[in-house]
Chains A and B, each alone.
Chain A
Amino acid sequence: MLKNRGITFKLIFLLLTGSTVIFALIFMYNYELTKKIILRNAEANAKHIATITVNKIEGILKLVERANHNIVYFIERTPYTKADIDETLRYIMENNNEIFGAALAFEPRTIDKGLHYFAPYYYRRGDTLKFKALGSENDNYFYQDWYQIPMELGSPLWSEPYYDSDGPDIIMSTYSVPFRSSAPGQHTGKPFIGVMATDVDLNWLHETLSSVKMYKTGYAFLISRNGTIVTHPDKELIMNESIFSIAEARADKNLRAIAKAMVRGETGFKQIEGFGLGKGQKSWIFYVPLKSEGWALGLIVPDEELLADITSLHKKVIALVFAGVALLSILIASISVSITRPLRRLVAATKDIAIGNLDIEIPPAKTKDEIGELTNSFVYMKTALKEYIRELTEATRAKEHIDSELKIAHEIQMSFLHKLFPPFPDRVEFDLFATIMPAKEVGGDFYDFFFIDEAHLCFIIADVSGKGVPASLFMAMTKTLIKAQTAVGLSPDEILFNVNRNLAKENNVNMFVTIFYGILNTDTGEVEFANGGHNPPLLYKKDTAELIPLETGGIVVGILEDGITFDKGTVTMAEGDFILMYTDGVTEAINERDEEFGEERLMRLLRDNHDKTIRALVELINEEVAEFSGTQPQFDDITLMVLKYETIDN
């Protein structure tokens, strides 16, 4: 898929994918890190606000506690009367505006043996101070929380907040301190005899907490020891719901766990869902205990407000990333275009060159990079190709010229040779047939025959060393020389001697020639011959069916000038005898297995076909040689000549 796309696409695709992944990773890391930092700061901030708020609340509650303890300190050490108690309660009410009501409640029959209940209570109603004697059959304070629990525990206690009897809008809490008798008891030390209780109107808490702001809509709330909501921006929750009931209504186990931690007096900073917000809306809660009351303060900040800065920051970062990626793609595109444009031009140029247009202009390289080098190499290649093709064209033309000349040379050479058979139709004493197949256009083999006088036929077969033009020239020279040297009265060996001397004298190229020279006496059938290194011709004797090689001593002709002599041989042909002359192109023809045609094969052919006409015999030998060679190229000229003696005259 990708591999079929262009370089520009690949570059943009891979680089953008890669850089986007890197950007994304950096972004996520950055997001987590900044989120962590922001949360840490938010926690510190919340802790700070919570501490201030708690100190403010406890500052006021501590005043109440201190006033209460002062009274207890007094009544546990000093003897007092009912009037003293009344005065003390009035005093504390007049001097402590924070206190809504105060009571000194006694155990049955402690201060007055006749009284089951004794609990004078002063409380505010508007600006006036009111009095009430607590305790009756229907209002048994002994079993009310504010009295009973500190009594049972033997320690001071802030009660669970409750609605004041005077109005459902007033939330109260009572601080109760158990006290002992000022006089020792009968059995144990100083016996427990009552509870000093001070009521506080908690409505100012609502004001204090509603002034607490975190971010936009973050708020503070207060819960009692049992988790009951004491203050909350949502007034419906106050005193009705507890943080546990909210958790239950939402089936929110996380919130319940936080609620438990809060009532246990722990401090924490946790993420929650909802709670005073829409369901599913995440927020953070920081909670801290009010130790002496057993209450807990919670600060809620919606997640999105907490992370508003980081969100806007990251929106900007994402915008920047997109802009960066866009810029990067433009850059990559322009780089890749600058790379691919020359490449594309080269591709177009290549197509032109492929169809032979070497004159096409290749735009010069503007850079020295790989593309520049490639362009330069391309220009060089084009120039080199052009030069090569020019040379090739010239060489071809030259070769064509030579070929045509060779063709002419061939024709000239062939014209040297007798082509018409029978050559002497009026002479019935003999028959003669010859063929020549040069290996190249021109060859070094030749045959010749002519009458020296009426009764003497001279016949020659020769093979010049080498092939081609030099051989053909040497052959022409040799042929002319042989003809010139042949004269009446000279025997073949003498003629060859002369020919050798003449050839060797000016032979600077060390060429040589093998020559079989024979003279037939047409009257007698007698043949005189000399052999200058040539393959011995084969004489077939018709009456005995034997094959006699015509050999004499003598070496090749044309190499050595001095001391070279040739021997003369003489045979007599009877009627029907014939001499086969051939060059080594026949016997040394090789087949595909590198075997030579050989003399044996030639001799067998002769024996088997002696009764054929000489033309048929020569053609048969040529066919056999061609068949033997098969596809092997012809290395040497193949020349065959047969002279058959027909009758002896008279």
Chain B
Amino acid sequence: MRHIKPILALLALAVFQLAAAVAAFGEGGLTEASFVPQWLPQAQFAGYYVAYDKGIYKKHGIDLKLITGGPENPPSPLLQKGKADFATMWLSTAIQMRAKGQKLVNIAQIVRRSSQMLVARKTSGIVTPQDLNGKKVSLWGGDSSTQGMAFLKKYNLTVKLVNQSDSVNLFMHGAVDAASAMLYNEYHTIINSGLDPEELTTFSFYDHGVNFPEDGLYVSEERFAADPELCCAFARASIEGWLYAFAHPDEAVDIVMKYMFKAHVPSNKPHQMWMLVKMKGLILDGNGTTTQIGVLAKEDYERTTALLKEGGLIETTAAFDSFYKDCVKK
């Protein structure tokens, strides 16, 4: 049975202790801070691991503790309990947390569009969204399903929903007709489990107008108010890490895989490289320029809140200015 919890907890503890030991020696002029990405180490977080590994955070005056994320370390509780200063979260997750009363602010919107999709085998006769009617469709649990639900609603589809775990095996075994996938992760896992892209039908939520920006950097409102300079330095250092990773993809992937190995997360280079390449497309502007990197557009925020409200997931919405602190333009 899958019991990853104990090792990961142990690892997280080790990282904590190591960081504490380093801090105890006293890094002159550096401000201590901690960060947790929302999942296990992988190229989805290449920018942060690269910034950490290459000393970019230190360059920006931050002595960062990098907490290994994952199912056992969900970011929002860590932020709330003050066990982490910074975290990555999906925009939709953060809006919901904020609506539930957790005072979070966005200091950079890294992934500026949705990369989520539904994947189906062409052999199951699924070519258009309507073909999904009456089929078994698996969606991830929690707020990850929001976009999927909005997609199904948009096309007025009635499907048999199945809860999807973090593997694609349900789909690979044919236990469901369509499954959720991230362009940068599960989609490639499916391809590398023996299905060719030509054999698959994909419904990218972005293409179908159900577009939630994804990974953003969050900090508690309180922490931001106390040290906005530190928070913005963290955001800028993270973006610098990303730009370095895009410029040096091989090195970046090697760095990420080093941390994956430490965390005993199975990995292979083609998959991480695929992920980094796709992240680049999601983070940079459509034409590959960096002018808007890290910026949360107001219309994106408003569209997302509207969809969440529509879906009954939130009742109140925070004002854009109180939710988003623009660290990039400063």
**Residues of A with Cβ closer than 8 Å to B?**
101, 103, 121, 134, 138-139, 141-146, 148-149, 152-153, 157, 159-160, 162-166, 168, 174, 197, 199, 225-227, 239-242, 244-245, 248-249, 259-260, 263-264
Known: A144-B165, A149-B175. 11 other contacts (CB 8 A): A143-B165, A148-B162, A148-B175, A149-B169, A162-B2, A168-B7, A199-B1, A225-B172, A226-B194, A227-B193, A240-B266
> When chains A and B are docked, how far (Å) is the Cα of A165 from the Cα of B7?
7
Query: Chain A contacts of B191 at CB under 8 A?
Result: 244
CB distance from A223 to the nearest CB of B (A): 10
CB distance from A305 to the nearest CB of B (A): 28
The reply to whether B268 and A242 form a contact with Cβ atoms under 8 Å apart is yes
Within B126-147, the residues touching A (CB, 8 Å) are: 136, 141
Q: List 17 A-B contacts (CB under 8 A).
A: A134-B1, A139-B3, A143-B141, A145-B167, A152-B136, A162-B2, A165-B2, A165-B3, A225-B172, A225-B173, A240-B267, A241-B268, A242-B192, A244-B193, A249-B270, A259-B194, A260-B194
Choose from A142, A148, A153, A197 the contact partner of B1 (Cβ within 8 Å).
Answer: A197
The reply to whether B175 and A153 form a contact with Cβ atoms under 8 Å apart is yes
B29 interface residue per 8 A CB criterion: no
Query: Chain A contacts of B72 at CB under 8 A?
Result: 138
The residue in chain B whose Cβ has the minimal distance to the Cβ of A119 is: B1
The reply to whether B194 and A168 form a contact with Cβ atoms under 8 Å apart is no
Choose from B4, B169, B172, B193 the contact partner of A165 (Cβ within 8 Å).
Answer: B4
What is the predominant secondary structure among interface residues of chain B facing chain A? loop
CB distance from A185 to the nearest CB of B (A): 19
Query: Chain B contacts of A199 at CB under 8 A?
Result: 1
Query: Chain B contacts of A143 at CB under 8 A?
Result: 141, 163-165
> When chains A and B are docked, how far (Å) is the Cα of A53 from the Cα of B269?
31
B153 interface residue per 8 A CB criterion: no
B6 interface residue per 8 A CB criterion: yes
Query: Chain A contacts of B271 at CB under 8 A?
Result: 245
**Residues of B with Cβ closer than 8 Å to A?**
1-7, 71-72, 136, 141, 162-165, 167, 169-170, 172-176, 191-194, 196, 264, 266-271
The reply to whether A144 and B1 form a contact with Cβ atoms under 8 Å apart is yes
The reply to whether A245 and B5 form a contact with Cβ atoms under 8 Å apart is no
Q: How many A-B residue pairs have CB under 8 A?
A: 103
> When chains A and B are docked, how far (Å) is the Cα of A259 from the Cα of B271?
16
> When chains A and B are docked, how far (Å) is the Cα of A264 from the Cα of B199?
14
The reply to whether B165 and A240 form a contact with Cβ atoms under 8 Å apart is no
The reply to whether B163 and A142 form a contact with Cβ atoms under 8 Å apart is yes
Query: Chain B contacts of A264 at CB under 8 A?
Result: 194
Query: Chain B contacts of A142 at CB under 8 A?
Result: 163
The reply to whether B2 and A245 form a contact with Cβ atoms under 8 Å apart is no
Q: Which of B3, B5, B6 has the most CB of A within 10 A?
A: B3
Q: Known contacts A143-B163, A152-B176, A245-B268; is A138 also within 8 Å of B5 by CB?
A: yes
The residue in chain B whose Cβ has the minimal distance to the Cβ of A136 is: B5
The 7 residue pairs across chains A and B that have the minimum distance between CB atoms: A165-B3, A152-B175, A244-B192, A226-B193, A248-B270, A245-B268, A263-B194
> When chains A and B are docked, how far (Å) is the Cα of A184 from the Cα of B318?
53
Query: Chain B contacts of A160 at CB under 8 A?
Result: 167, 169
Q: Known contacts A143-B164, A227-B192, A227-B194; is A165 also within 8 Å of B6 by CB?
A: yes
Query: Chain A contacts of B164 at CB under 8 A?
Result: 143
> When chains A and B are docked, how far (Å) is the Cα of A138 from the Cα of B191?
29
> When chains A and B are docked, how far (Å) is the Cα of A225 from the Cα of B164?
19
The reply to whether A240 and B268 form a contact with Cβ atoms under 8 Å apart is yes
Query: Chain B contacts of A239 at CB under 8 A?
Result: 266
Query: Chain B contacts of A162 at CB under 8 A?
Result: 2
Query: Chain B contacts of A260 at CB under 8 A?
Result: 194, 196
CB distance from A241 to the nearest CB of B (A): 4
Choose from A144, A163, A249 the contact partner of B266 (Cβ within 8 Å).
Answer: A163
Query: Chain B contacts of A248 at CB under 8 A?
Result: 192, 270
Choose from A101, A148, A163, A263 the contact partner of B165 (Cβ within 8 Å).
Answer: A148
> When chains A and B are docked, how far (Å) is the Cα of A157 from the Cα of B175?
12
Query: Chain B contacts of A249 at CB under 8 A?
Result: 268-270
The reply to whether A164 and B3 form a contact with Cβ atoms under 8 Å apart is yes
Query: Chain A contacts of B136 at CB under 8 A?
Result: 152
CB distance from B77 to the nearest CB of A (A): 11
The reply to whether A244 and B170 form a contact with Cβ atoms under 8 Å apart is no
